[in-house]
A and B are shown apart, each in its own frame.
Chain A
Amino acid sequence: MPRTIIPFGPQHPVLPEPIHLDLAIEDEKVVDVIPTVGFVHRGLEKLVERKDYQEFVYVAERICGICSFIHGQTYCQAIETIMKVEVPPRARYLRTIWGELSRIHSHLLWLGLLADSFGFESLFMHSWRIREKVLDIIEATTGGRVIFGSCKIGGVRRDINPAAFQTMLAQLAGIEKDMREIVDVFLNDSTVKERLVGVGILTKEEAHALGCVGPTMRASGIAQDMRQLGYAAFDEIPIEPITRPEGDSHARCSVRCAELFQSVDIIRRAIARIPIGEIAVKVTGNPNGEYLARTEQPRGEVAYYLKANGAKNLQRFRVRTPTFANLPALVKMLPGCFLADVPVIVLTIDPCISCTER
């Protein structure tokens, strides 16, 4: 059987961002894959030499337009650990709430893109319609829809008053009801299952060996979620990782669907328990030391390594994003699949090239 090399990306209808795959095809089946990234590498890590460590929160938030808040939060957590800053409890709860709102809107965005990839346009639109309501909550509580600008070293910049919490709870009830309707379609509709069940299988052993993270890892049966580390308010609001054993595209969809409701539950528990008090402490001086902070972004574990020597500029700022960690798994999943399934499988790792090209 002769081999044909088919280029997939960097410009492709299913990809809003540039990633390239060289697909070696025999007949209609993929037999080999070589990924290429780096088309828009921004060198943000290098900017740390020009921006002082306080300013750099803004840069960290701009690594990604979807999980922007958690990027800023992880950076702040790393600095706070190096400088031994105690973040006020209320700020930790507020970070938890905004982080989970980020997860809900990210997963809804992904569900819409997935529906679009297999041609279910009305499902795509419904997913994004619901996502708009989440963005409305974010806008009402932070002033931003993409970049929240709410996290700072030592706490947060904004508080949420009790009346706004009650409004948020009412809005979340409506969002939850809407999400149940679309999730039922994603998980049970026969045409959707036809495109996802048994497609792009990644075993538990492969997921571990390939360094997978997040929903991609949990959908292969590995119960690990960085929120279990207890950062922000997760030491007082414990969570159980959501897993599926199948390791296929449907399992990855199923994990994210279940995480939508898990996040709503976390927000409700956080609002019920949020303590009264300060939202930030003053931070003076410069950091001196090194730390690798990890949090759970919507796409999985993000690792922030910071090294400082007591100057206002850090010596090194390094981010390992979840998409970067999941690329080897993608390369493993594709051989053996049909060419028509490539867009779906690529999307099931929820690729964020903006993060990868930080």
Chain B
Amino acid sequence: MNDEQTFPPVSVEDLVSKVREFRDLGWRLVQIGAAALGDTIEVTYSFDLGGRLSNLRVSLPAEGSPRIASISSVYPCSYLYENEMHDLFRIQVDGMSVDFKGKFYRTTVPFPFAPRKS
């Protein structure tokens, strides 16, 4: 049960092609999740094939407006995760198949999980 997990980095430019490789090999998209870590936002893409888990990680600068390409052309279900990333972390996801324009979550505080300036 204590399987080792790795989170190999991938560049923003290579993300969609790497994700497409997973799709072509039959991997299922498990989740996309972001984590705000000081001056960096990590976005982790997780895939499953027959119980095996594999990840990809994109690091985005927290400053300014972080951008990333949508993978909804590869995995159509990704639009929910991507809207969630936008609404909670202020990550601009380009090319989402369904864009809720910031209305996916109705939060009192805008972008509540985004890094705050100290």
Contact = CB atoms under 8 A, between A and B. Distances in A.
B60 interface: no
Interface stretch (A101-109, A191-199, A251-259, A319-327): A319-327
B37 A328 contact: no
A138 B96 CA distance: 44
Contact of A38 (B37, B51, B76, B105): B105
B107 to A, nearest CB: 6
A36 B33 contact: no
Given A43-B112, A315-B35, A211 B30 contact: yes
B35 A318 contact: yes
A180 interface: no
A209 B75 contact: yes
B105 A305 contact: no
A305 to B, nearest CB: 5
Interface residues of B, number: 37
A interface, by DSSP: helix, strand, loop or mixed?
A: mixed
Interface in B1-21: 1-2, 5, 7
Contacts of A45: 113
Interface residues of A, number: 40
Contact of B31 (A230, A235, A291, A320): A320
A38 B35 contact: no
19 contacts: A34-B98, A37-B105, A38-B87, A38-B106, A38-B107, A43-B112, A46-B112, A81-B2, A209-B76, A211-B75, A230-B1, A292-B30, A292-B55, A294-B53, A305-B31, A316-B35, A316-B36, A324-B80, A325-B31
